């Protein structure tokens, strides 16, 4: 029990790394996911095909494979272009992999959310002398975000959990540090270590879920 | 480190040999998991006392922890539990 508590305390600082990876990938994933969704909804066939192919590839590939592809593949790819990226932090590679995963999945969340907003909303906004850009920003986007918010929350929680796989390329996040503690105690306290890890991920997921719920409630009040 | 297509093709077959294991794990987990999920849902809908509270906790734990941690917990925990019983 004492070992368990000290392990929890030792692991808490490393939540920073987990949160950094998960939240950065979420933000980047939202940007690229919106872009992908826009590509899927536009009328240019080539863009549509590219976006669909990318999404299919991402959804059919395990996150761990994406992490390995980004960690071992990007240096080769950049090497071909004559750029040396060997000094880049492993955290960056895991963020790139998780961003790919998030953007593929988020585009499939954003696209139906956008389609769920009634066409009349845009027409009414344009009739009220708003420019198309204003109508998009003030009328359509808030409704899209409100519809998609619960799924965004699920995605963020999924990212927090998938980020634990980054320890396999040597990122020292909660999971990575747990592995180190486990090795230093020669595997004698392996159960305590992984209970401590699961407790931390559990708490992080619960807090994140509660925050998303609160945000969703607030938005619901504003949008009526 | 260069990208060697021949090496990738040669070893693709070796990678394919892992497919039965992947399918086995997936299907056994689904065959056991889906009926179990049905009963869990039933217990939560009927709000069976005690069981409902326990399942809420269990579900929150399962959804809140990474699969890799669950695998480690089961792999290292079950032998200890068996040792305690025997």
Chain B interface includes A183 (CB < 8 A): no
Buried b (16+ CB within 10 A) or exposed e, A127-144: eeebeeeebeeebbeebb
Chain B interface includes A197 (CB < 8 A): yes
Question: What CATH number is associated with residue A121?
Answer: 1.10.3720.10
Low-confidence ranges of chain A (pLDDT < 70): 224
Q: Provide mean pLDDT across the span B45-70.
A: 92
- Does B3 have pLDDT greater than 90? no
Q: What is the pTM assigned to this prediction?
A: 0.87
- Does B27 have pLDDT greater than 90? yes
A67 and A11 Cβ atoms separated by less than 8 Å: no
Indicate yes or no: CB of B70 within 8 angstroms of CB of A201: no
Indicate yes or no: CB of A198 within 8 angstroms of CB of B70: yes
Centre a 10 Å sphere on the Cβ of residue A23 and count the other Cβ atoms it contains: 16
A93 domain residue, yes or no:
yes
- pLDDT score of A58: 92
Domain total of chain A: 1
Report d(CA A175, CA A193) in Å as an integer: 10
Contacts of A159 (CB under 8 A, 6+ apart): A21, A22, A25, A26, A29, A98, A101, A102
A151 domain residue, yes or no:
yes
Contact list, A198 vs chain B (CB under 8 Å)? 61, 65, 69-70, 73
Sign of the CA dihedral running A100, A101, A102, A106: positive
- pLDDT score of A84: 79
Please tell me which residue, B4 or B41, carries the higher pLDDT value: B41
Give the domain range for residue B36.
5-85
What size, in residues, is chain A?
224
Q: Provide mean pLDDT across the span B29-55.
A: 94
B66: closest CA of chain A, how far (Å): 5
Chain B interface includes A161 (CB < 8 A): yes
Domain total of chain B: 1
- Does B41 have pLDDT greater than 90? yes
């Amino acid at each position: 029990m004492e070992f368990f508590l000290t392990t929890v305390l030792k692991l808490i600082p490393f939540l920073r790394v987990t949160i950094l990876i998960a939240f950065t990938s979420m933000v980047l994933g939202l940007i690229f996911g919106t872009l992908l969704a826009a590509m899927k909804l536009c009328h240019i066939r080539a863009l549509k095909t590219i976006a669909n192919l990318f999404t299919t590839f991402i959804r059919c590939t395990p996150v761990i494979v994406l992490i390995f592809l980004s960690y071992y593949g990007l240096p080769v790819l950049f090497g071909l272009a004559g750029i040396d990226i060997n000094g880049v932090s492993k955290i960056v590679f895991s963020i790139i992999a998780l961003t790919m995963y998030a953007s593929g999945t988020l585009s499939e969340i954003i696209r139906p959310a956008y389609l769920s907003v009634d066409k009349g909303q845009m027409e009414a906004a344009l009739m009220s002398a708003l420019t198309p850009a204003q109508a998009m920003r003030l009328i359509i986007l808030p409704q899209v975000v409100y519809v998609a918010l619960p799924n965004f929350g699920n995605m963020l929680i999924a990212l927090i959990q998938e980020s634990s796989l980054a320890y396999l390329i040597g990122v020292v996040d909660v999971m990575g540090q747990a592995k180190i503690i486990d090795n230093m105690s020669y595997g004698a306290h392996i159960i305590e270590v992984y209970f401590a890890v699961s407790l931390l991920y559990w708490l992080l997921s619960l807090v994140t879920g509660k925050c998303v719920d609160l945000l969703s409630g607030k938005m619901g009040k504003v949008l009526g | 480190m260069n990208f060697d297509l021949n090496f990738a093709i040669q070893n693709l077959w070796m990678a394919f040999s892992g497919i039965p294991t992947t399918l086995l794990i997936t299907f056994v987990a689904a065959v056991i998991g889906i009926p179990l999920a049905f009963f869990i849902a039933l217990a939560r809908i009927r709000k069976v006392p005690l069981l409902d509270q326990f399942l809420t906790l269990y579900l929150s734990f399962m959804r809140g922890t990474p699969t890799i941690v669950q695998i480690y917990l089961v792999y290292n925990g079950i032998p200890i539990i068996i040792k305690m019983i025997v």
